[in-house]
C-alpha cells in the first residue's frame, strides 16, 4: 500500500502508480525515489512541487528514463514523470512547434513532416523531447542546423515557488540561457517551443558490412569526413548484435561495421552527389550485407539508427575526441572491433554548424570536437555487464590521447562517468541563476554532476 495514501495521484513504493511513474527505458538503472507521480497537467506538476516542499522532499523529474543511469540517488525525493497532454502544436507559418513535456520525438516527426518541416530531433523516436533538448541534442541534421538546444525558442516550467512561467529571451534572458544546457536544477519543465526547418526530401539509411572489411570501410569514411558538406551527418558503428525477433540475420550472425546518417537535399552539391561520394567508395570495398540507404521523406530518419524500440538492460560510456588521425582510427578498431563484448562502439561525425557558437544560444551552444564517441553494452547479467564495463574502460584509456575532456550531457553513460560540458566561469554563472530561481535547493538533486559548485 502507498505510504502517501490520501495525497491524490502521489504514490509510494509498492503501488501500481509508483511503478508506472518510476518506469525507466534503461532497465539496468531503476529509479527508487521516496514517492512518485505521473503528472498529466500543469496543475498536477504544481501540486507535486508544493507537496514535496511541504514534506521536506526534493523534486526530480523525468519522462522516458533513457538517461536513468545518469540519475543520482533520489531516496529523499519526489519523482515527477511528465506526461502532459495537448499534443504537438505546429505553426507552419512561423516554423515553430510547441511540445508538451512527455512528447516523444516520433510524435514530433509525424506532426511536422506533412508541413515540409523538420526539427533537430534525435536518432530514436522513443526519446522524450525535453531531456534531449536541455542536454544539448545532436541530430542527424546537426551539422546543418547546429545544436538542438539552440532551436529552443521558449520554455515553460514550474519553479520552486510553485509558479508556472514561460521563459524566453525577452522575459528572463539569464534563466533562458542557463536552462539550455546548464545541467538542470531549475524546475519541472512542462513544455518547450522550438524552431523548425524547411526540409522535404532526405537521403537516409544504414549500410552494414562484415567486420573483415572494417579497416578499409572506417579508413575511407574517416577520410571523407574531413571535407564532408554540412548537409550530411553520419555515424560509424562497430556492432556485435545478438539475434532477436525481427532483427535481420545478416547483422546478427557476427560482428559488422555500420554506416548510417542523413543527407539533406536542396544544397550544392546535391544530396545525390554527396550520397554517391560517400557510399560508392565504401561499396567498392565489398557489397553490404544489408543496405537501407534511399531517397525518402524526413519521417524515415528516426528509424535510420535502428535504436531499440523497447526498454533494455544496458550500460554506456561517452567522450568527445579531436585530432583523431589514422593512428586513432587504428587504435579504435583494435580495441572496439571484433572480439569486443560491446553491442556497439560509435564515432559520430561532428563539425559543421555544431561547432559554431550561437550568440543567441544557451550556455551549451556548440561542440568543439571532431567526433563524438559512445559505446553501448549489455547489462543482461553480472558477467556480461562486467565484461562490457571492462572493455569500455579499455577503449576510454586507449582514446585518451584524443580525448578533449568534454562531454555532451545527453550522451553520458552513467552518473559517475567523467563529465565536462561547462567550464568554471559558465558553472559559476549558471549557479547564480539557480540561486535566484531555487534558493533552497528544491531541485538540486536534478543537477548534472560537475555542473554546479553550490
CATH (domain of 321): 3.40.462.20
Mean pLDDT to the nearest integer, 144-151 = 97
* Residues 188 and 209 occupy one common structural domain: no
CATH (domain of 151): 3.30.465.10
Between the CA of residue 171 and those of 32, 42, 80, 103, 445, what are the distances in Å?
A: 36, 20, 26, 25, 26
Confidence of residue 8 (pLDDT cuts 50, 70, 90): low
Identify whether 51 is part of a domain.
yes
Given 164, 179, 198, the domain boundary residue is: 198
Mean pLDDT to the nearest integer, 383-403 = 98
Identify whether 440 is part of a domain.
no
* Residues 73 and 117 occupy one common structural domain: no
* Residues 355 and 406 occupy one common structural domain: yes
* Residues 405 and 282 occupy one common structural domain: yes
Confidence of residue 199 (pLDDT cuts 50, 70, 90): very high
Per-residue HEC secondary structure of 137-188 comes to CCCCCHHHHCCHHHHEEEEEEECCCCCEEEECCCCCHHHHHHHCCCCCCCCE
* Residues 256 and 331 occupy one common structural domain: yes
Domain encompassing residue 154? 89-198
* Residues 328 and 343 occupy one common structural domain: yes
Q: Cell 525518402 maps to which residue? A: 296
Asked whether 442 and 77 are in contact (CB, 8 A), the reply is no
* Residues 194 and 206 occupy one common structural domain: no
CATH (domain of 72): 3.30.43.10
427: DSSP letter: H
What predicted TM-score, i.e. pTM, was given to this entire model?
A: 0.95
* Residues 298 and 348 occupy one common structural domain: yes
Tens digit of pLDDT for each residue in 17-59? Answer: 999 999 999 999 999 999 999 999 999 999 999 999 999 999 9
Domain count, the chain: 3
Given 163, 182, 198, the domain boundary residue is: 198
Identify whether 392 is part of a domain.
yes
Between the CA of residue 321 and those of 141, 172, 326, 405, 421, what are the distances in Å?
A: 20, 35, 13, 8, 13
pLDDT at 2: 42
Given 198, 228, 255, the domain boundary residue is: 198
54: DSSP letter: H
Tens digit of pLDDT for each residue in 221-260? Answer: 999 999 999 999 999 999 999 888 878 888 988 999 999 9
**Sign of the C-alpha dihedral computed for residues 131, 133, 135 and 138 taken in this order:** positive
Asked whether 368 and 355 are in contact (CB, 8 A), the reply is yes
* Residues 118 and 172 occupy one common structural domain: yes
Closest residue by Cα to residue 332 from 320, 346, 318 = 346
Three cell numbers written together for 233? 551527418
* Residues 338 and 250 occupy one common structural domain: yes
Identify whether 424 is part of a domain.
no
* Residues 227 and 341 occupy one common structural domain: yes
* Residues 32 and 143 occupy one common structural domain: no
**Sign of the C-alpha dihedral computed for residues 264, 373, 340 and 69 taken in this order:** negative
Identify whether 93 is part of a domain.
yes
Identify whether 454 is part of a domain.
no
Amino acid at each position: 500500500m502507498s505510504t502517501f495514501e490520501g495525497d491524490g495521484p502521489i504514490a509510494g513504493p509498492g503501488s501500481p502508480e509508483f511503478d508506472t511513474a518510476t518506469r525507466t527505458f534503461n532497465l539496468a538503472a531503476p529509479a527508487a525515489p521516496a514517492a512518485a507521480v505521473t503528472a498529466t497537467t500543469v496543475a498536477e506538476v504544481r501540486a507535486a512541487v508544493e507537496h514535496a516542499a511541504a514534506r521536506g522532499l526534493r523534486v526530480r523529474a523525468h519522462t522516458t528514463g533513457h538517461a536513468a543511469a545518469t540519475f543520482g540517488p533520489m531516496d529523499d525525493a519526489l519523482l515527477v514523470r511528465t506526461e502532459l497532454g495537448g499534443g504537438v502544436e505546429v505553426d507552419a507559418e512561423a516554423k515553430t512547434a510547441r511540445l508538451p513535456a512527455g512528447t516523444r520525438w516520433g510524435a514530433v516527426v509525424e506532426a511536422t513532416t506533412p508541413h515540409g518541416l523538420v526539427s533537430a530531433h534525435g536518432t530514436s523516436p522513443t526519446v522524450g523531447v525535453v531531456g534531449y533538448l536541455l542536454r544539448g541534442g545532436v541530430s542527424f541534421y546537426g551539422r546543418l542546423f547546429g545544436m538542438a538546444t539552440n532551436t529552443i525558442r521558449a520554455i515553460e516550467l514550474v519553479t520552486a515557488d510553485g509558479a508556472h512561467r514561460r521563459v524566453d529571451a525577452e522575459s528572463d534572458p539569464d534563466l533562458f540561457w542557463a536552462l539550455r544546457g546548464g545541467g538542470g536544477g531549475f524546475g519541472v519543465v512542462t513544455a518547450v517551443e522550438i524552431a523548425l526547418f524547411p526540409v522535404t526530401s532526405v537521403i537516409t539509411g544504414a549500410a552494414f558490412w562484415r567486420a573483415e572489411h572494417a579497416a578499409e570501410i572506417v579508413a575511407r569514411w574517416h577520410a571523407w569526413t574531413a571535407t564532408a558538406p554540412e548537409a550530411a551527418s553520419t555515424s560509424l558503428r562497430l556492432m556485435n548484435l545478438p539475434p532477436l525477433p525481427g532483427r535481420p540475420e545478416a547483422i546478427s550472425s557476427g560482428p559488422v561495421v555500420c554506416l548510417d546518417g542523413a543527407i539533406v537535399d536542396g544544397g550544392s552539391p546535391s544530396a545525390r552527389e554527396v550520397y554517391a561520394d560517400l557510399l560508392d567508395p565504401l561499396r567498392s570495398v565489398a557489397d553490404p550485407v544489408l543496405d537501407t540507404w534511399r531517397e525518402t521523406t524526413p519521417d524515415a530518419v528516426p528509424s535510420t539508427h535502428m535504436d531499440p524500440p523497447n526498454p533494455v538492460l544496458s550500460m554506456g560510456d561517452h567522450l568527445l575526441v579531436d585530432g583523431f588521425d589514422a593512428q586513432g582510427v587504428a587504435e579504435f578498431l583494435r580495441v572496439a572491433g571484433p572480439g569486443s563484448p560491446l553491442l556497439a562502439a560509435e564515432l559520430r561525425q561532428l563539425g559543421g554548424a555544431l561547432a559554431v557558437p550561437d550568440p543567441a544560444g544557451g550556455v551549451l551552444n556548440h561542440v568543439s570536437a571532431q567526433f563524438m564517441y559512445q559505446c553501448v553494452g549489455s547489462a543482461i547479467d553480472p558477467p556480461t555487464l562486467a565484461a562490457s564495463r571492462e572493455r569500455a574502460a579499455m577503449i576510454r584509456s586507449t582514446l585518451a590521447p584524443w580525448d578533449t575532456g568534454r562531454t555532451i550531457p545527453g550522451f553520458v553513460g552513467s552518473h559517475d562517468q567523467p563529465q565536462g560540458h561547462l567550464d568554471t566561469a559558465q558553472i559559476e554563472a549558471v549557479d547564480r541563476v539557480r540561486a535566484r530561481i531555487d534558493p533552497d535547493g528544491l531541485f538540486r538533486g536534478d543537477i548534472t554532476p560537475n555542473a554546479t559548485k553550490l
